């Protein structure tokens, strides 16, 4: 069985997150100071965005509901 490019990328995500966190863990104070007073909006690109009707305009992302 041959894995698709998407399947390989999904499988790589846990290790990529570990490397990113390890690289920046010592910089938490610096990062906190940079982020102070700012907000971050996380958005997703759900598969349903790709679905729908061709005659309707669809957003490229949907905000993630924090509740």
Query: b/e per residue, 32-42, with b = 16+ CB within 10 A?
Result: eeeeeeeeeee
Distance CA 43, CA 27 (A): 25
Per-residue pLDDT of the chain in tens (67 residues, 90 and over written 9): 567 888 888 899 999 999 999 999 999 999 999 999 998 777 666 665 555 566 666 666 666 565 5
Domains contained in the chain, number? 1
Residue 51 lies in domain: 5-63
pLDDT at 49: 53
| Cα distances (Å, whole numbers) of residue 28 to 23, 24, 34, 46, 67 | 11, 7, 10, 31, 26
* Secondary structure of residue 44 in the 3-state scheme: strand
pLDDT at 39: 86
């Amino acid at each position: 069985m041959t894995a698709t490019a998407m399947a390989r990328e999904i499988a790589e995500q846990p290790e990529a997150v570990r490397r990113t966190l390890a690289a920046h863990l010592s910089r938490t104070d610096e990062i906190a100071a940079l982020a102070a007073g700012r907000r971050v909006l996380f958005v997703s690109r759900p598969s349903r965005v790709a679905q729908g009707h061709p005659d309707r305009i669809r957003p490229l992302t949907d905000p993630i509901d924090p509740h």
